[in-house]
Amino acid sequence: MSRYLITCTPAHGHVVPLLQIARHLLSRGHDVSFLTSSRYAERVQAAGARFLPLPVDADVDLDDADGAFPERRGLTGPAALRFDMSNLFVRPGAAQLAAVRAELEARPVDAVLTEPLFVGGALLQLLPAHERPPVVVLGIFPLGARSADTAPFGLGVTPLPGPLGRLRNAALRTVAERAIFGGVQKEADAMARREVGRDLGGFVLDWAGRADAYVQFTVPEFEYPRPDLPATVHFAGPLPPSPSDPVLPEWWSDLDGSRPIVHVTQGTIANSDFGQLVQPTIAALAGSDALVVVSTGGRPVDALAGKLPDNVRVAEYLPYDRLLPLVDVLVTNGGYGGVQQALAHGVPLVVAGQTEDKVEVCARVGWSGAGVNLRTSTATPTQVARAVDRVRSDPSYRANAERIGAAMRDADAWLSLDRSLDELAGRWARVRGGARS
């Protein structure tokens, strides 16, 4: 049995997949503690893990960032990215590290498992090996490891092969690190010097690639080629969907295969404004031969104001293990988990998301040929109608989705995670043995 500490920034989209991982580790007989916001205490305890609350200075409500930071409202583009990186992720880092250190002093662990935006993990891995446990990054967002063959993470720029592409990437990296995020990087380095006595050792958004291990929950087929990828990075395959025993909506029998099905969702967080994607999709496909199946992500069904077209079916939640095998096209704002579940079923996509990690998810959908990237967060009905028609009429999109899905179905995320942790334990024992000699 091993003892693990999982650390997680306080956001629903971060906590849910890490709780899946916690439940798996617990099922293997391991001891698991989970450090995050008190808002998630009941969920952590229900999973069977030991709950640890983040200190007040690190307990930022990422699910209501505009409420926590009214000055964030209205920011777009680089200004919004800078604000989020500084206020939501970098500044809580010192308090995150303090909480981790206090816990490690009280209860040593075999490894700290964290997600890429928990900056306290970046600070912890700067300490000498004999002063800390190994740090394992859990890749629940698109891979953020630095590479000469990829543009900086967060820009949504797809690869350009050859020397010209590498020159472009180097130029973009200079702009990102020194101009767009220059102030954020200085702030992060200054914090690192205060807390651990040295700089971060590289760009703040690349730190996960410098961790002791990086378990990325996807397959190489859905990631950009990186010949210079560190040996510490392991592709595990997507996290399996959580088991569900849903109450099916009364209209479920309408999904009988007699009509094409287009499913549209804005996920469970970025769904306060259905005018971004759900309503444009309903308008785009009104009167078409397809059934438009809408998930409101937990919002009341009547949040979709007005009379809906006859070909629309709506529910707050839908079981993806039952729905996706029936779907012809998924229209989504690009949540990583939902996109990967669709691909695992060979479902092609239309994606429209340019915030948080969604810009990178959507870029990968377009680059892989598994769907159409609308390159916006607010789509028009005309854009959606054209994109859905394109995906339905061109068989290459489904063929590419099936190709990626086959690789995903062949992967075993839990087996890969267990192997990575076992391998790390052996390697870390050798590192510490060398440090003592």
pLDDT for the residue 205: 87
Average pLDDT over residues 210-223: 96
* Token duo for residue 376: 């916006």
pLDDT band at 427, cuts 50/70/90? confident
- Of the two residues 270 and 30, the one the predictor is more confident about is 30
User: Is pLDDT of 250 > 50?
Assistant: yes
What's the chain's average pLDDT? 92
Average pLDDT over residues 214-220: 97
| Long-range Cβ contact pairs of 241-250 (< 8 A, separation 24 or more) | 241/320, 241/321, 241/341, 242/20, 244/319, 244/321, 246/317, 246/318, 246/319, 246/322, 248/319, 248/322, 249/313, 249/315, 249/318
* 134-192 per-position pLDDT tens digit: 999 999 999 989 999 999 988 889 999 999 999 999 999 999 888 888 999 999 999 99
Average pLDDT over residues 39-62: 94
Secondary-structure breakdown of the chain: helix, strand, coil percentages, each rounded to the nearest 5:
50, 15, 40
Tell me what percent of the residues of the chain surpass a pLDDT of 90.
Answer: 73
Residue from 205, 217, 221, 224 nearest 158 by CA: 224
* 280-303 per-position pLDDT tens digit: 999 999 989 999 999 988 778 888
* 178-212 per-position pLDDT tens digit: 888 899 999 999 999 999 999 999 999 889 999 99
- Could you give the CA distance from residue 384 to residue 386 in angstroms, rounded to a whole number? 6
pLDDT for the residue 437: 47
